[in-house]
Structures are given as structure tokens and as C-alpha cells.
Amino acid sequence: MTFSLRQAGVVAGAVFATVAQVSAGSSLTVHTETGIFTGLQNKDFTGVREFRNIPFAQPPVGSLRFQPPQRLPSSKQHHYSTRFPPSCPQFVSSGESFWNLFVPYLQPVNGNQNHSTGLSLQTASEDCLSLAIWTPYDVPVDAKLPVAFFMTGGGLQTNGVDVPGQIPAPWVNRSQEHIVVTINYRLNIFGFPNARALDSPNPAILDQRLALEWVHENIAAFGGDPESIMMWGQSAGAMSTDIHNYAFWENPIVHGSFSQSGTAMSLPSVFSSDYSHSNFTTVAKNLGCDFPDDATAELECMQQVPVDLIENFIGQYDGPASLSFDPIPDEILIFSNYSARAAAGKISHRPAIFSTTGNEYGSLYTWPSSNVTAGPYQPFVNAGTLAAFICPTAKTSIFRERANLTTYRYQYAGVWPNQNPYSWLGAYHSSDLMMNFGTYFYNRTNSTAGPTAMEIRTSEAMQDHILAFMKDPENGPPAIGWNPYTYGANVVRFGANGVPVQNVSGYAIDGPCYGDGIYNPFP
């Protein structure tokens, strides 16, 4: 047996479990088309088997940097998949925010570097295209369990597999009825380079697709059902999930999708309009790759620049114009008019969940450092919540209803003593993630408060609803009282006023998008 050099450089993610001494027995060693992988039993959740680092594409380095991902060849090489992969290249925030002040466990493990340097993430690597798999420990190989295929958020600029608050071991341990896969995909300039010499300006979407194809081809070896995969993403991952509903509508692979706080209809707010490729050229010019008349030379030169130099430059850029790397419509993977695509029927016909939180923009608005106790001006927060989340979700739901597509909606409204350092945050963007994953025990209030009994019941209700969808997207949710969305009806609300789950009017949430009523961020 050989130890892969790819494994030797990965990051030790101190999340729930330390690497246990394990034997390469049949329960922990799985043969796939691209290698043999030995995982481990989770130390704290012993009903869970983990494979923390499984490559799904060739390392996107050298001449493959900025290019579409390349499939791995067949292999019988043995790997110990007991450490999480490094996150893809990214830079940490250069200023204070809710995220680096209160919820560092919703960000990749960052070594000894603080969270406001603007520098390249210390634990990242360009050789990052890997995924992780969590299964019940004693799952039979022929179990055909449903699979959740999860893509992290982070604005398409940050995040990765090694995010403590998004480790699904508690949920898998509780249910023993499903598998969770989480993936890395390239970010910022590496995921959306938009260079003059490239045919594809959005290779990150192709990273996601190749990871999904790998799971479809190999998950049966882990006890999963390749015909029962739910694509799931949160925030930027949610937009990515819905992007796939349009880009691969004729062959979605998955049998359902779950877009958590984001849809393709949200994309215009983050679209790049850099059709002149000026952002990439600005970075290239400042890093010694100034070839204004030779796009190929510019690209080849940038493929040789050290990755940290690129991320440090972008993270600390303070030039005369903004510098960003975001999805740009290419009318192949990213479309300029999703409404027209939906109206033409060019959208996956698989059932879908779309969700929002009550006060989405509370954690996204500029951090009110001068008056943290009072918080930001709530009408501005409401406007951001409506524009970026509620109204695009309402629009998506209506288009899907017109097309007779099965759609489920939920709103998360939970506010708990251990999760809300300030009352004005409410059910903020990403606060439902820890409820989904069962990592609600993280303490965000610097107090001795732990999770309440009602908080735990709410988390379990959310997990049960999602699992019902995973098992049978058409009939599972109605069987537990969650009916498909129709305008004005059938939204499930979790955690409001200490009630784990209740049915509420969709009109009460979406009405303000159409001039009817005032939005209530604290239901």
C-alpha cells in the first residue's frame, strides 16, 4: 500500500473527531473507480463512518489552472482518507464582520492566522478538488441509502469541506438512513477567472458537475443510491444548485434539489459585467503578466504565478475601481435571463425545496461597530432580505408552479439563547445551517447557555422534513404534512415562538414583494 502525497499535505481539521487508529477492514475501506479509500469511525459520533478526502478531479494546477476540471483516470491506488482536504485558494476578510467575530466555525479552519488580514487562507491549496463522505457506520453495501450532495456558501469567494459547523456527523449519526457528501469547488479568480484566452469563464460550475458525476458513478460502493441524490447548497451553494437546474435541465442526474437561501433568480445581483476581462487583466498586469496584445501569453504567465501572490493581491487590493470575480453569463452554464429559461421549460423537472430565514440580511448588512447593541437600521435590512432572498424565491416558486413543478418551501425563524448574541440578528442568514447539520451546540453568545430542548426538537423536525424529501421528493413531504407550495399557501415555518414546526401562509412572507403588506423579519 502507498500513502498518497496528495493526502500528506492536507489540513488536519479539528472539528468533531480526531483521527482514530483504524484497520483497513472491509467496513472502512471502499473500492471506487478512481482509487481505494480507507476512512475512519467518528470518535464522538460512533455510528458514523467518514471518508474525509476523496479527489474527484485532476489537480487544477499548472496548465490546468483556470481551465475546466479534468476527470481522474481509473486507479487502484490506496489512500488513507482520514484528514480533510485543504480548502480551495481564497483570502480571508480584511475587515470586521459578524462572520469573523461570532461564527468562525462557519469558515474553513484557518491555522494560526486571524480572520481579518485580507491574506491568502493559510490552510488552502490549489490541489483542492476533493469531496468528503459521511455514512452510517454499519451500512451494508447494498443499502441504497438516499444521498445529500452539499455545496457550501461563501459568496463563491470562500468556504470548503473543512467547515466545523457544516460537518454532518451528528445528523447522520441520528438518522442512520442517509449519506451526506460535501465538496470543494474553485472560488473567486480560480473559479470564475473570465480571462480573455479562456473558452469557459465559469469553471467552478463544472467543478460542481464533475463532483456530482463522480458521486453518481461511485456512491453505490458506500451504500448509497445513485438514483436518489439530492443536490443541496446554501447561499452561494443554493444559487449554484439552482444554476444546475437550468444548465443541466435535460440531464440533472439528481432526483431533487434543495436551495437554501438563494436561487438562480438571485444571480443578477452578483453577476459580473466584466465583458472586457479587465479584472483578470488588472491582476495579471500587477503580477508581471502584462501582455495587452497577447491573451494566450497573459493566461500562460498567470498559470505560473504562485497562488498566494494572486490571493494576497486580490484580498488587499485597494485600487481605483472594484476588483471582483463572479459568475458571468456565457449562455451555456450561466444565463442572463432565467425567467425566459423557466418560461420556455428549460428547467429541471425534478422536485425542489427553496428556503429562507426570517432576517436574512441581519448578518450580511455592514457590521454596526459604532452601535452594536441597537444594530443596523431595520428597514434597510428588510429591503436587503426582500431583494436578495424573499422576492427571488417567490418569483422562482411562481414560475415553477406555472410549469406544474413540485416545489416545497420553508422559512426558518428560530432564535435561541446560545445562537443569538444580539436580538436584532433574529433568524439571520446561515443560522439554519447548524440546525440542518445538528451542530447547534456551538455557542455564539459567549455565555454558558447551551441548546434548549425546543431548539433540539426544531433541529430534528428540520432534519426529518429534509430526509422525507430525500427519500421520496414527490410523496415524502406530504406524508408528514408538508404540502407543495402554491401562492398564498403551504410554507412550513420552523422555530417561530418556540414552536418546532407549523404551517403558515406563503402570502404572509411573499406578499411584500408584490406591494401587499409589510415584511415581518421576526415572525
pLDDT tens for residues 90-127? 988 767 788 888 888 888 877 666 666 678 888 899 99
**Residue 26 confidence (pLDDT):** 45
Low-confidence spans in the chain with pLDDT less than 50: 1-26
Instruction: Tell me what pLDDT residue 411 has.
Output: 98
Q: What is the pLDDT of residue 488?
A: 81
Quick one: pLDDT at residue 406?
97
**Tell me, what amino acid is at 457?**
R
> Which pLDDT belongs to residue 293?
97
- Assess whether 360 carries a catalytic annotation: yes
SS3 assignment, position 229: strand
To 10 degrees, the CA torsion angle through 354, 358, 364, 365?
140
Q: Which of the residues 360, 363, 431, 459 is marked catalytic?
A: 360
Residue 111 pLDDT: 67
pLDDT at 493: 98
235 tagged catalytic: yes
pTM metric for this prediction: 0.93
Q: Looking at 81, 87, 97, 235, which residue is catalytic?
A: 235
Burial of 117 per CB tally in 10 Å (0-12, 13-18, 19+): middle
Got the DSSP string for 342-381? HHTT-S--S-EEEEEETBGGGGTSPP-TT-TTT-S-HHHH
Q: Phi/psi of residue 247, each to 5°?
A: -70, -30
Give the model's pLDDT for residue 115. 60
Report how far apart, in Å, the C-alpha atoms of 349 and of each of 238, 243, 254, 255, 393 are: 17, 14, 11, 9, 17
The predicted structure's pLDDT at residue 447: 62
Does residue 429 have an active-site annotation?
yes
Quote the CA–CA distance of 191 and 297 in Å, as a whole number.
20
Q: Of residues 397, 429, 455, 459, which has the active-site annotation?
A: 429
Pairing of strands 40-41, 48-55: antiparallel
pLDDT at 19 (0 to 100): 37
